[in-house]
Structures are given as structure tokens and as C-alpha cells.
């Protein structure tokens, strides 16, 4: 038996670990959150096989934001599943190739290089997300800061919050994106204040480990570090 490359982090939610994490969520409509770096499609396929699911069972691929470490396998996973691709209106132009990425200067050549190496092609707009939209039992929360169209997904029933790169969990502390990866700190703080108002039990991050205890308290502590 090969070591399985996915973990059930919460009932019906499967995490694929890597440089960046992505997730499969089995819900009234099943969906994938982000797609990881290029070459990750096999992991998803293997997981679906193990669970006795078909790629066609996935209705939507939700992108927390446009960065290449979250969209690398997008084309291939779209091909595999036929799912609609959903992203916030403010990040769509970067995913569709309409706008080129103008983030921190060092990301630009990396993104360009990755696009060439992995032959990442822009995709067409399928589903434009706005704050308050629903994907199955999950509500889209627009949280600009890391990118203009960063989103979180929140389910009030299981109190799971997908945060993408809005925060990472390390040594018991939630950290904001650092320096150049936070081009809009003002809006970021407002975004995190929104998250401080909801009741969260599990935080599923784009990088690193999930938060499974004291989630509300940890978000409050993050907020304190942002004030002043």
C-alpha cells in the first residue's frame, strides 16, 4: 500500500499537502478549493478513486486567489473534472490573463518562469464570485489584502473557514502574509476584522497546518497584532 497523499481534516474535507495546500470538499455540490502547484492532478484523481467518487462529481473549483502556487494545476483539474472555475471578480483578470500580475516585484519573474516551465495557460471566466455568494453550504467572504480578490469560504454549519493565504499557522500563532506579500495592509486589517466576527472552529490554510482548536481566539490575537 502506498502512503496516501491526502488527509481527511474534517468530515468530508480532504487536504492535499504540498508547497501550497489544496482541498476536496464533499458537500451538496462537491468542490475543490485551490489546485496547488502544477502536477497535482494525480493526487486528486487518486483520492477520488479511493473515496469511490468520480471526477464529474466535482461541480466547482474555487480559487482563493490568483497566485500560481494555487492555480498551477487549474487547467488539468478543469480538464479532469469539467467543473466550473470560480474566483472573485478582482482576481479574475489575472487568472484569465487579461491583466498581468503586478504584485511584489520578485513574484513577477517567478510567475512568468513558472508559466513557461509548466505551460500554464490562462483560463476563461466561468463563475465570478462576489462577497456573500454561496458554494454549497459555504459563503464567500471577500478578504482583499494579499491580493485584491482574495476570498475566504465559511460554513456556519461545521464552522470551517478556508483562508487561502490570508493567514498561516505556525508554532501556535496565526500570522498575516509578510511584507511584500501584503501589498494592501489597510484593507487586510478590515478583512481580518470581518473574520473576527464569525464563529470558527477549523481554519484551513493555503500553507502549513490547519487550526483545529481555539480558532476564534487565535483570530482575535492576530487582530491585536494588526492594530496600531
Q: Minimum Å distance from CB 63 to Zn ion?
A: 11
Q: Minimum Å distance from CB 21 to Zn ion?
A: 9
Q: Which stretch binds Zn ion (CB under 5 A): 66-74, 78-86, 190-198, 208-216?
A: 66-74
Q: Which of 33, 165, 169, 195 binds Zn ion (CB under 5 A)?
A: 165
Q: Which of 22, 62, 69, 144 binds Zn ion (CB under 5 A)?
A: 69
Burial of 100 (0-12, 13-18, 19+ CB in 10 A): exposed
CB 181 within 8 A of CB 146: yes
Q: Is 90 an interacting residue with respect to Zn ion (CB under 5 A)?
A: no
Number of Cβ within a 10 Å radius of residue 117 = 9
CB 164 within 8 A of CB 64: yes
Q: Is 176 an interacting residue with respect to Zn ion (CB under 5 A)?
A: no
Q: Minimum Å distance from CB 34 to Zn ion?
A: 8
Q: Which stretch binds Zn ion (CB under 5 A): 30-38, 100-108, 131-139, 164-172?
A: 164-172
Specify the residue, 59 or 176, whose C-beta has the smaller distance to Zn ion: 176
- How is residue 195 written as a grid cell? 473574520
| C-alpha separations of 75 from 21, 109, 128, 215 in Å | 17, 21, 17, 33
Q: Which of 20, 35, 43, 202 binds Zn ion (CB under 5 A)?
A: 20
Task: Find the binding residues for Zn ion in span 91-130 (CB under 5 A).
Answer: none
CB 60 within 8 A of CB 84: yes
CB 14 within 8 A of CB 46: no
Q: Which of 206, 210, 211, 215 binds Zn ion (CB under 5 A)?
A: 206
Q: Which of 67, 78, 88, 142 binds Zn ion (CB under 5 A)?
A: 67
Residues that bind Zn ion (CB under 5 A): 20, 67, 69, 165, 206
Amino acid at each position: 500500500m502506498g502512503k496516501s497523499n491526502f488527509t481527511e481534516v474534517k468530515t468530508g474535507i480532504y487536504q492535499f499537502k504540498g508547497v501550497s495546500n489544496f482541498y476536496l470538499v464533499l458537500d451538496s455540490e462537491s468542490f475543490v478549493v485551490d489546485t496547488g502547484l502544477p502536477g497535482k492532478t494525480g493526487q486528486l484523481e487518486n483520492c477520488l478513486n479511493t473515496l469511490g467518487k468520480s471526477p464529474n462529481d466535482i461541480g466547482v473549483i474555487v480559487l482563493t486567489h490568483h497566485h500560481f502556487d494555487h492555480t498551477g494545476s487549474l487547467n488539468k483539474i478543469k480538464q479532469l473534472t469539467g467543473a466550473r472555475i470560480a474566483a472573485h471578480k478582482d482576481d479574475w483578470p489575472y487568472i484569465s490573463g487579461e491583466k498581468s500580475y503586478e504584485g511584489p516585484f520578485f513574484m513577477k519573474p517567478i510567475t512568468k518562469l513558472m508559466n513557461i516551465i509548466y505551460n500554464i495557460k490562462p483560463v476563461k471566466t466561468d463563475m465570478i464570485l462576489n462577497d456573500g455568494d454561496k458554494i454549497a453550504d459555504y459563503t464567500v467572504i471577500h478578504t482583499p489584502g494579499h491580493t485584491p480578490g482574495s476570498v475566504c469560504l465559511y460554513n456556519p454549519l461545521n464552522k470551517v473557514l478556508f483562508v487561502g493565504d490570508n493567514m498561516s499557522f505556525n508554532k501556535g500563532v496565526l500570522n498575516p502574509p509578510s511584507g511584500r506579500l501584503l501589498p494592501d495592509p489597510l484593507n487586510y486589517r478590515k478583512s481580518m476584522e470581518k473574520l473576527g466576527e464569525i464563529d470558527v472552529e477549523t481554519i484551513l490554510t493555503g500553507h502549513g497546518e490547519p487550526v483545529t482548536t481555539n480558532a476564534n481566539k487565535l483570530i482575535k490575537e492576530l487582530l491585536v497584532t494588526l492594530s496600531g
